[in-house]
Structure formats: C-alpha cells, structure tokens
Structure 1
C-alpha cells in the first residue's frame, strides 16, 4: 500500500494540479483545514502566481468580507489608496495582519503596474474579491452600507418615479448601526432586530431595488460600465443576504443555526458565481466552505449540517468547478502533533516529501475499503480531512509540517 500511495504524490505546482482535472476550471477552489497559518497562505500565493503566468487566471477570491474586498480590488487595479490602507480596511476576520496576505496584495499591484510603470489593459489586470458576507462568528454587519450604496447607484441613473423609496426613508428604517451589530443577538434571538417591522419593510424595499437594477440593466451598463453595474449587483446581493441573515438571527425555532450557516454559504455561493462570470479564478477558504459533501459543525445549540458554497457552486458549474483540499500533518505550536499512522494524514505523513499534490482517484484505489479512520483533532481550530469525502475531492495538497507563522 505504501508504494502505491507514493505513486500518487507529485511536486506542488499549478501544472500538477491542472493535470488532475478534466478541463481548466472556471473556479479552482483551494481549501485549507485551518486559518491563520502563513505557510499555507504562502503556498496559495505561489500557486496563484503560477496560475496567472501559466494558465491565464486573473482573479483570486478569499474567505473575507465582500464589501471590504472592494477596497483591495480598487488598490490592486487602479492604485486607489495605499498598501497599508488596503490591508487595514480591505479584509475581515483579522486577515489584514497576515504577512502572506500583504505580499499577495503587493504582488498583484506590482503585476498590474508592470515594469514600465504603465498600467495593464483592463482585460489583463489581476482582480481581488472577498466572497464572504460582512459576517463574523459573533455578529453580522448592518445592511446600511450595501443598501444605501445600491440606492445611490440607482438614484443617480434612473428616474425617481420607479424608485421604491428615498434615501431618507432607508435611513429612518435602518436606525443606528449598533441595533444590527449587537453580539448578544447571536446567542439570544430576542436581542436581534431581524424580525422587527422596520427590518421587514427593508427586506421588501431591498427586493424592489434589486428588481429595478435587473430591469434597468440595458440602460445601466450603457450609462456607466459593466464593472459599475456588477458592483451594484454585489450591493444588492449583500443587502438582501444580510437582511435574510438578520431575520434568521431573530428566529427561536430549532432550525435557527442551520438556516444561519446555510444563509451565509448561499451568500458565498452567489458571490463566487459572480466571480466566475469574469473568467477563471482561484478561490481560497476553509475546506468546509468549498467541499462538495455536506458540511457539519457542532455549535452551542447542537450539531448543524448544510450545503457549502462549494457544493452549491459545483451543482451549477459542474466540471468548471474544481475542489482541491489541503491536508496537513502537524501544527505543533497548536498542539497538533504527528498524526496516527492508521489515519489518512498519517499515511500521507509517511511520504518523503515535505509537501505534495495527491492524485485522489489513485489514492482511493490504494487505500481500498474500508477507508482509514478519521483523525481526531486535539485543537478546535483545525479540521482533519474526512476520508469519507474523497469521492468529492479532485486533488489534495498535503503539507507535512506547518511552522509557526
């Protein structure tokens, strides 16, 4: 068995990943089993550079706030602001402090400027996208930014008569932002404003604004640009998604957490489909958001399961969506030590390479049945790869040891 598994391992580069796939995917999803490790992000950066130079990829989308991501995209495409400002304001979840993320943004801007200090044509520019909603584990943002931006875009370009409301009406219904962002609402539905009369009215208005955006598309893409219209669509998706998320935060039924995690990944999926419309992109997020199998998680209200963004997008795109999972051996600084030899990670850990790309169909054949025992993580921040999910994975990037960032 060891010899067969060894034959499934290849050097980590974009060409090796592409050889695993039947076609060049529109979305190549690279998952990670833990967050915050620059060694994994450095590997992501290296693969993205190769995909840009060898395969014509132009966009990277990461698990970060889609609205904040616009700040980074403006910087890398047109030089708006500074690198420091892009890192401070363009990321959520604390990703802006990562040295690897900073290097990614710096390289993308340098690539777009070129050595001769002339900007590349728009079709050749690298683009950045956050594809998560404006959400954290403990709270969700106010819909104000997205909703007012959508209204402002439409108010400047269409007659007043079709607009369902004024900006003043939106402001009155939204109230203060801290009503929406109260962290206590995550564990106490009674603290949420998501089912208030104002929130219900805002959901209807947001739906009408998105409908107007759709109805006026031929005029809008001529009056401004496709990119401006595309950004307005992002405002619409985010506003309606946030209002839906807040609605379920106020729910008291047993379905509450399932609907919340499902609503989040639905927002992610719609953002990824919009990214795919631009052309080939590398997507990077936790494995659980990108896998084809149902995702599961144990929370304070009990276990929940839902279809991830990757599963939703894969159902739409078919072979144009590919999922490459990252698995790892150790994160010793987090107490994740050498994996047991009878686990999937333990078998891969016995390979001589420090990191490698694994041909999953070949690996599945080598493993046979029954599959190895699932690894149990001693640390909540790391999720081992479930051997039962191998059929839905196109490839594995295995990293033997993750050093402290």
Structure 2
C-alpha cells in the first residue's frame, strides 16, 4: 500500500464520527448548517434506502431546530405540487393519494416507503403550525413539458379566459404527442416549428398581468399565481431542453441544472414575500449537488446546482452534503423505462473514493471534509461512483464513475459501507427477488 493512500485512510479513520443511530449523529452537521440559506443533501444513487432515510432525518432537524421552511426535490413541479397540497393541509388527498401524479419512469424515485414516511411526518409537523408557517415541498426539475402547459392553461381559465385561449393556441405548437423525447427527435430534424417565441410571450404576459390577477386579496391568490409562473418557466425551459436533446449545441445538463437553480431562487424570493426566512433544504443526486468545478463534469464545460448555488448565494450560505456507499443493493433498472429491480452494487474498486472510505474501517460515519487533516488529503482527483435510475455493472467504470476532488466537491459527507435497496410502492416480480452477489452462498 502506498504511503500517501495509507495516510489518507488513517486520517479518515481518525476524523470520522461513527454513526450510532442516535440523535447525536447529526449534531455536527446541524452546527455547520446554522446561519446558511441552503442545505443540499445528495445521494450516490436514486435507489438507496439509507440515503433517503438519512436525508429525511436531517431535514426534520433542520426544520425543527433551524427554521428551514421549504424542501425542494429533484422532481417535477406539477407532480410535487400535489404532495405540497397534502403536507400543508390544502387538499382532500389521502397520504397515498398525494403521490398519485408521480407516474412517469422512474416512479420509485418518489413513490417509495421512505418518502411516504417523511411526507406523513411533515403533514403532522405542519398541522401544529399556523397556515403561514407551514413547510412546503416543491419540485425543481424540467421534464414536465406537457403537464406544466396544462397547468398554466388551467390557471388562466380561472382568472383570464381570454389569455387561456391564447395559451391553448401558443402551446398547441408543442402538439402533445405521447413522449417529450419524440418532440425532441422531431425538433432536431426540423419537423417542428420553434415554439419558444410564443412561450416567452406568454410568460411575459403572465408576469405583466400579475397585479390584475392579484386583485382578489389573499395568500391563496398569490400562491396560485406563483405556481402558474413556475409552470410557465418549466414550459419555456423544457421546450429548449427537449429541442437541444438531439444534435443541439448546448449542454442539456447545463440547461436542466440552470433551471433547477432558477427555481430555487424564485422559491426563496416567493418565501421572502410571505415574510418567511426563505431557507431551503434540497434533495437531489450527488452529481447535481456537489460542486461541478471539482469534478470531471466541470472539465467538460458542465455546471450544476451545487456550483451555481455556491456562486450565486455565496459559499458560506450553502452547505453541500455528499453520500457514498461501498456495496450492498440498490433499486434500479437495467435500462431506461424497464422495471425496478434490487440490483447488487458491486464492491467499489481500489483507487476509488468509496474504496478509500471502506479501507478506513469505520463502517458508517460522518466526515467533515474541511477538517484540517482531511482537506488536502482528499483534494486529489479520484473516481467517484454515481448510480442514477439505471445500473450497468458490466460497464461500471465507464457508466458510473467520474473523477472528483472530494473536499472541493462537498463540505461534509456520510459514508455507509453497505446499503440496502429503496422499497417502492409498486413492487413487481422483478424487485421481489434481489440480485445476489457473485460469491453467494459461499461468501468467498
């Protein structure tokens, strides 16, 4: 073993705060979060039970102890709005019914037992608070092109029928085909007109008529207008995202993450208008929430939420939290739009960040990456694993690893040596039988 690697392992071992499943596990993180506007809670996969559980437990403390007043997730605005209505007591939905709009792949990303537990807790937490102080849940992703267009039309039908007719005409350009990906394919081949100009004009009109729409005094009118404005922004940005998907000259990754950050700051401004602190907890993948400038993504000209929030809010106003695992199981598909399975996560290879954490022999721990003994030790670029909703172990190094300078990428992190698969609401036969390790049952 190289001396430098051994030194890093020993320093991690010495600095690690072992998790013992007690309330003290998050004390150090809460202190680091004190006074910050944004706490960004990542995940190394979209299907690991422990990542969701830890994020929920941390978020509860941030809401209860530090006065954070919103949770923004890597989900679509219209789908998440239904959860928001439930947790704030503004809908007739049941707990399970509030998840009803999460219907597109990957449904398990939000339709799972861990999120249900958190939403149930948040509903109860809000019930004891005044209406103006209730914590909301918001989606910040860009995929809901058609559903957001429908939501804008629905809003305008109630406040301005003439504008609703105009919106139907403008959005007809999108031609609601079955999948936005098909829209992208046809747009790239010049088979569709450019709908952007009409979408921009409609958004400008919506913003300019806002005082008229707010003539009916009350918080509900302002809330409804805000949701309509955000959906109009989704349509505008989603149209460009899908148009650039095939053969475009703009990084669609950059378009997506810029939209998420735009949503975060619009939400913060909206909360301020309500007299709220505007402090937001964010749930998304590590690849979105770690600073892209410290990774191979940045070298490719890509930015992300973590980088943009640090730049726009200030590094002292954002806490970036990463999560890693060495092995275990994950809920993931073999390919896009295929069923969810419990896949075996292959042990991380030597030389990777996850293997380095495993070699520190602390099992489950919290690590302050800005600790004087760690910051420089974890500054060199090492491969870091990222599993999204698809897991391809046969090409794992190419498909799931990118180089990252960990102590520049995140402020703090949690490592869990072995993790389990997230449990979906909709358990199919593919998920019922987990993929077994290659050495089962010998364990050799």
Indicate the TM-score class for this superposition, using the shorter chain for normalisation: 0.7 to 0.9
Alpha-carbon distance change, 243 to 179 in structure 1, aligned in 2, over 3 angstroms? farther
Match for residue 345 of structure 1 among 354, 362, 380:
354
SS of match in other structure, 1:42:
helix
1:290 Cα deviation from its structure 2 partner: 1.7
Match for residue 7 of structure 1 among 7, 11, 14:
14
Stretches of structure 2 lacking an aligned partner (at least 5 in a row): 1-6, 20-24, 272-277, 330-341, 387-391, 423-444
Alpha-carbon distance change, 369 to 390 in structure 1, aligned in 2, over 3 angstroms? closer
> After the TM superposition, which of the residue ranges 176-185 and 342-351 deviates more from structure 2?
176-185
For the 8 Å contact 2:149–2:231, the answer to whether it is kept is no
Alignment of 1:290 onto 2:289: yes
Stretches of structure 1 lacking an aligned partner (at least 5 in a row): 115-119, 157-164, 298-302
Alignment of 1:109 onto 2:123: yes
For the 8 Å contact 1:62–1:129, the answer to whether it is kept is yes
Q: Kindly tell me the number of residue pairs found equivalent between the two proteins.
A: 377
Match for residue 84 of structure 1 among 84, 89, 96:
96
SS of match in other structure, 1:36:
coil
Alpha-carbon distance change, 364 to 145 in structure 1, aligned in 2, over 3 angstroms? farther
* TM-score, reference length from structure 1: 0.80
- Counterpart of 2:4 in structure 1 is none
SS of match in other structure, 1:261:
helix
Write the mapping of 1:86-165 to structure 2, written as runs, cut at 5 A.
86-89=98-101, 93-94=106-107, 95-114=109-128, 120-135=129-144, 140-141=145-146, 143-152=148-157, 154-155=159-160
CA deviations on 1:252-311 (whole Å, 9 max, x unpaired) are: 9954451x33222222112211333433222110112222224767xxxxx964221232
SS of match in other structure, 1:236:
helix
For the 8 Å contact 1:340–1:375, the answer to whether it is kept is no
Q: Which whole-Å CA distance do the structure 1 matches of 2:288 and 2:96 have between them?
A: 29
Alpha-carbon distance change, 69 to 97 in structure 1, aligned in 2, over 3 angstroms? closer
- Counterpart of 1:401 in structure 2 is 418
Write the mapping of 1:4-403 to structure 2, written as runs, cut at 5 A.
4-12=11-19, 13-20=25-32, 23-78=34-89, 80=91, 81-89=93-101, 93-94=106-107, 95-114=109-128, 120-135=129-144, 140-141=145-146, 143-152=148-157, 154-155=159-160, 166-175=163-172, 178-179=176-177, 181-190=179-188, 195-196=193-194, 200-213=197-210, 216=211, 223-226=216-219, 228-247=221-240, 249-250=242-243, 255-256=248-249, 258=251, 260-277=252-269, 278=271, 279-294=278-293, 305-318=301-314, 319-332=316-329, 334-362=343-371, 365=374, 368=377, 371=380, 373-375=382-384, 379=393, 383=400, 386-403=403-420
- Counterpart of 2:438 in structure 1 is none
* TM-score, reference length from structure 2: 0.73
RMSD between aligned residues:
3.4
Q: Which whole-Å CA distance do the structure 2 matches of 1:89 and 1:206 have between them?
A: 24
Alpha-carbon distance change, 252 to 101 in structure 1, aligned in 2, over 3 angstroms? closer
Alpha-carbon distance change, 255 to 353 in structure 1, aligned in 2, over 3 angstroms? same
Alpha-carbon distance change, 363 to 103 in structure 1, aligned in 2, over 3 angstroms? farther
SS of match in other structure, 1:361:
coil
